[in-house]
């Protein structure tokens, strides 16, 4: 499989995200709103070169949660190993592809959330009763009838319990495949000390039991069928499968941490290989740590935009307001900054020529908003709630926070919007925040009295079309492009002329 480019495969994001949801012990890097604002599901799909569902789940979590120190160190060691031994990548890929045949998205919910139940413990009594009656019937003929009744009861219970066991059929196969994959993969990657001898022994025992419970015997001839049914009769009589299921579930509960470590190893290995290909075949750089708490990006690109125009920005003293016409690139630039900062924090790589950020940096965004009829919430109410969340965050932050906001409070009238926006931005200036905000409202800038640095994106109108250069420039954009947009979309002339008249009246009235 070619891993140089993004892999074209179906990704069930909802199931992939399960592992992140179960990892509540790890620190969040990005909240759900920021994740959606920056369209990080699409970014994940672009950078994902993993070969397994386990790798997908680990990489997805890596973009959302901080790794533990051991996980971080293991990732570095594996990436370093492949950097020095790239010839072994094909061998590792074969191991992962074989594992993928039996991997499932549901495994984390199995060993972390414990989404399984043992069968009733009284089946031991039924099994023991049958054995005692069988032995006793050799000596006392009257016990034959109770023995037959016991057999029929146990057979019914056996097949009833079989539906319970089959519920976890794929998870049991996955655990067996997990063990086999780890045995081969850690040798290729020279990580022999990852699991202790005791942990490997526990994993082997669990693997064997899971393998037994996952078996679906398919017979090809009459003799095989006879042997199969004979074994089934014996197992049903003593409820063997039910007893083995309970023992296996007990082992899974006792050694869930070993299964998780093994799962993480395969996820880290697959993710490390994915990042190896990403870094080797895309234009980007590893981040530099800023000791002076400033943020600098040089020739940053949005990874999802082909032939993206790179832009640079440095946020050191004053925060920044960006102006510009519609479609000029303001929102895309905010997303570009946010995406590259988060990738720097998570995969130690960004789509820039150079990026320097503080070691401890949190990020909040307010880029997309929407009405919610289901929750009786208006567009403006959504904006107010998000701004309040940011206020609460900066109150308690001890680290630098990067705040990216697009068109503040656009859900209300112009006078209130300008007043609230200016007050909110002055408030953020009092805290250790790095703010980049876009606006169409020049009055907001005037009310701030030079508190914010100003940048803009320009556009020109020629040959009845709008042209954008998507280059960030120092200063303020005073012209608008709405009328030009109407012209470029060939609106009726009477609408354009009337709009120009109304606009002139409103402007003169000011």
pLDDT tens, residue by residue, 441-466:
888 999 998 899 999 998 887 777 77
pLDDT at 203 over 50: yes
Q: Above pLDDT 70, what percent of the chain?
A: 96
Mean pLDDT, range 300-316, rounded to an integer: 93
Mean pLDDT, range 192-199, rounded to an integer: 92
Mean pLDDT, range 266-275, rounded to an integer: 95
Mean pLDDT, range 426-432, rounded to an integer: 90
pLDDT at 505 over 90: no
Considering only residues 303 and 410, tell me which one the structure prediction assigns the higher pLDDT: 303
pLDDT at 427 over 80: yes
pLDDT tens, residue by residue, 59-95:
999 999 999 899 999 999 999 999 999 899 999 999 9
pLDDT tens, residue by residue, 209-258:
999 888 765 545 666 677 777 888 888 999 988 898 889 988 988 999 99
Task: Supply φ then ψ for residue 27, to 5 degrees.
Answer: -75, 135
| pLDDT reported for residue 506 | 75
Task: Supply φ then ψ for residue 334, to 5 degrees.
Answer: -55, -45
Mean pLDDT, range 290-299, rounded to an integer: 91
Query: Which of 3.40.50.300, 3.30.565.10, 3.40.50.620, 3.90.960.10 would CATH assign to domain 285-479?
Result: 3.40.50.300
Mean pLDDT, range 321-341, rounded to an integer: 92
| pLDDT reported for residue 1 | 66
Mean residue pLDDT across the chain: 88
pLDDT at 167 over 80: yes
Task: Let me know: does 367 contact 342? Beta carbons within 8 Å.
Answer: no
pLDDT tens, residue by residue, 352-400:
999 999 988 999 999 986 554 444 467 788 888 899 999 998 888 778 8
Residue 164: pLDDT band (50, 70, 90) is: confident
pLDDT at 129 over 50: yes
| pLDDT reported for residue 357 | 94
From the list 274, 279, 271, 403, the residue with the least C-alpha distance to 341 is: 403
3-state secondary structure of 177: helix
Considering only residues 486 and 188, tell me which one the structure prediction assigns the higher pLDDT: 188
- Helices 169-188, 144-167: axis angle to 10 degrees equals 60
From the list 37, 36, 38, 48, the residue with the least C-alpha distance to 10 is: 48
**DSSP H helices in 347-441:** 379-396, 414-429
Distances (CA, A) of 143 to 133, 148, 151, 175, 233: 6, 9, 12, 43, 19
Q: Above pLDDT 90, what percent of the chain?
A: 53
| pLDDT reported for residue 51 | 95
Exposure letters 174-194 (e unless 16+ CB within 10 A, then b): bbbbbbbbbbbbbebbebeeb
Concatenated DSSP letters for 380-399? HHHHHHHHHHHHHHHHH-SS
Q: How buried is 507 (Cβ within 10 angstroms: 0-12 exposed, 13-18 middle, 19+ buried)?
A: exposed
**What does the block give as tokens for 118?**
């043992």
- Count of all residues that appear for the chain in the document: 510
pLDDT at 440 over 90: no
Task: Let me know: does 366 contact 387? Beta carbons within 8 Å.
Answer: yes
Concatenated DSSP letters for 265-325? HHHHHHHHHHHHHHHHHSS-B--EEESSS-EEEEEE--TTSTTPPPEEEEESSSEEEEEE-
**What does the block give as tokens for 218?**
């398919």
Q: Collect all residues with Cβ–Cβ distance below 8 Å to 43 and sequence separation of at least 6.
A: 63, 303, 304, 339, 343
pLDDT at 496 over 60: yes
């Amino acid at each position: 499989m070619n891993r140089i480019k993004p892999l074209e495969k179906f990704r069930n994001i909802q199931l992939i995200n399960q592992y992140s949801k179960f990892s509540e012990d790890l620190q969040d890097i990005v909240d759900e709103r920021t994740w959606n604002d920056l369209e990080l599901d699409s970014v994940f799909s672009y950078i994902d070169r993993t070969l397994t569902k386990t790798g997908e789940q680990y990489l997805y979590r890596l973009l959302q949660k901080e790794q533990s120190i051991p996980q971080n160190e293991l990732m570095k060691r594996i990436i370093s190993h492949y950097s020095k031994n790239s010839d072994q990548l094909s061998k590792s890929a074969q191991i992962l592809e074989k594992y993928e045949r039996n991997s499932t998205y549901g495994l984390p919910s199995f060993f972390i959330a414990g989404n399984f139940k043992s069968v009733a413990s009284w089946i031991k009594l039924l099994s023991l009763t049958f054995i005692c009656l069988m032995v006793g019937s050799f000596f006392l003929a009257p016990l034959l009838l109770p023995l037959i009744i016991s057999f029929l009861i146990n057979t019914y219970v056996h097949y009833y319990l079989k539906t319970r066991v089959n519920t976890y059929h794929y998870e049991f196969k996955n655990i067996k495949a997990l063990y086999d994959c780890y045995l081969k993969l850690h040798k290729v990657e020279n990580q022999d000390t990852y699991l202790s001898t005791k942990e490997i022994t526990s994993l082997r025992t669990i693997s064997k039991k899971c393998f037994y419970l996952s078996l679906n015997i398919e017979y090809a001839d009459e003799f095989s069928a006879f042997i199969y049914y004979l074994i089934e009769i014996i197992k049903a009589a003593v409820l063997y499968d039910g007893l083995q299921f309970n023992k296996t579930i007990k082992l899974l509960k006792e050694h869930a941490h070993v299964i998780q470590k093994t799962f993480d190893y395969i996820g880290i290995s697959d993710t490390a290989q994915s990042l190896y290909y990403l870094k080797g075949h895309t234009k980007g750089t590893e981040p530099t740590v800023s000791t002076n708490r400033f943020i600098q990006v040089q020739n940053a690109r949005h990874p999802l935009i082909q032939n993206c125009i790179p832009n640079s920005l440095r946020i050191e003293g004053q925060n920044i307001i960006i102006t510009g016409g519609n479609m000029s690139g303001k929102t895309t630039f905010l997303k570009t900054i946010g995406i590259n900062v988060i990738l720097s924090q998570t995969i130690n790589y960004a789509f820039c020529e150079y990026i320097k950020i503080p070691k401890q940096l949190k990020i909040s965004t307010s880029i997309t908003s929407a009405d919610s009829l289901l929750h009786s919430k208006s567009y403006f109410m959504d904006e107010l709630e998000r701004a309040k969340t940011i206020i609460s965050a900066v109150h308690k932050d001890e680290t630098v926070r990067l705040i990216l906001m697009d068109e503040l409070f656009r859900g209300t009238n112009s006078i209130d919007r300008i007043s609230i926006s200016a007050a909110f931005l002055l408030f953020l200036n009092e805290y250790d925040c790095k703010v980049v905000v876009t606006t169409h409202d020049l009055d907001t800038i005037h009310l701030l009295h030079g508190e914010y640095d100003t940048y803009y994106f320009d556009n020109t109108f020629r040959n009845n079309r709008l042209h954008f250069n998507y280059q960030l420039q120092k200063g303020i954009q005073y012209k608008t492009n709405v009328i030009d947009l109407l012209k470029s979309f060939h609106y009726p002339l009477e609408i354009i002329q009337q709009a120009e008249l109304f606009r002139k009246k409103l402007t003169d009235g000011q």
